[in-house]
Amino acid sequence: MMAAGDVSESRRLTVAAVQLSSQGEVPENLHVVERITREAAARGAGLVVLPENFAFMGDEAERATHAEALGDLAAPIQGALSRLAREHGVYLVAGGTPERSGDASRPFNTALCFGPSGELVTSYRKIHLFDVELADGTSYRESRGNTPGDAPVVLDAAGFRLGLSICYDLRFPELYRELTQRGAEVLLVPSAFTLHTGKDHWHVLLRARAIEAQSYVVAAAQWGKHPLGRVTYGHALVVDPWGTVLAEAPDGVGFALADLDGPRLADVRASLPSLQHQRLKRS
């Protein structure tokens, strides 16, 4: 395992942080995912990150009916993702889709990572669930329709070590510290941030996670209006380890494209070696 701060100097990777406006019909959403993945790969992306709820945005009870058994590549959602990764030769991280759990009404919210051969490399179950009453009167109770995960996940892909998370996880820096201590160099944050919270907190939190972890951040996003009156903020973006926004998607469906640079990562971690100065570490 690569320790924090142990960075090879010769790696580069083009990444696409995808921005969607997913609705309540899975086939139509997957059709958009196919188009965007194809476009991102054609522009050189070796890693494509899809936002949370990429395949379905709507009622939680209906969402549960789309839950699939993990690793079932004959299932509609996972089968489509596997095929896309294989056809375009990319790592495809699908950030938040219903996975069957022990409770049929409360699936896991799971990020899936497919490799260039179409294989399911790993998965991450969202740990922190969004249960809030917002000032604009909007109420969310993600725990009513989702079972939380409990395990951080890192993986090696395309020459970098990736740390997985989903949306509301962004507000819990201890998760990202744990990912960094496990060697993460790139933090993936596929999201469906509300307009109300996103306009004030999205950029600030993503840049903070990049700075404190001295890591790249790739944040896919949902944008626009969805069923049941939900409105999301968008602004899919890529941040470098110094906290500089490298690329940001405008309003609409598309993606933010940027290069991850091993030398840049090494320079930041060497010039300000805060990851080596931690005093409070996990037991």
Q: Which residues are catalytic?
A: 52, 126, 167
Among candidate residues 58, 47, 129, 61, the one with its CA nearest the CA of residue 94: 47
Chain center to CA of 148: 16
Pairwise CA distance, residues 144 & 142, whole Å: 5
* Token duo for residue 68: 């699939």
For residue 53, the 8-state DSSP code is: T
Contact call for residues 30 and 94 (beta carbons, < 8 A): no
Pairwise CA distance, residues 104 & 33, whole Å: 26
**167 three-state secondary structure:** helix
Contact call for residues 257 and 247 (beta carbons, < 8 A): yes
How many residues are present in the chain?
Answer: 283
Residue whose pair of structure tokens reads 């406006």 in the numeric block? 21
- Nearest-5° Cα angle at 161, 147 to 279: 85
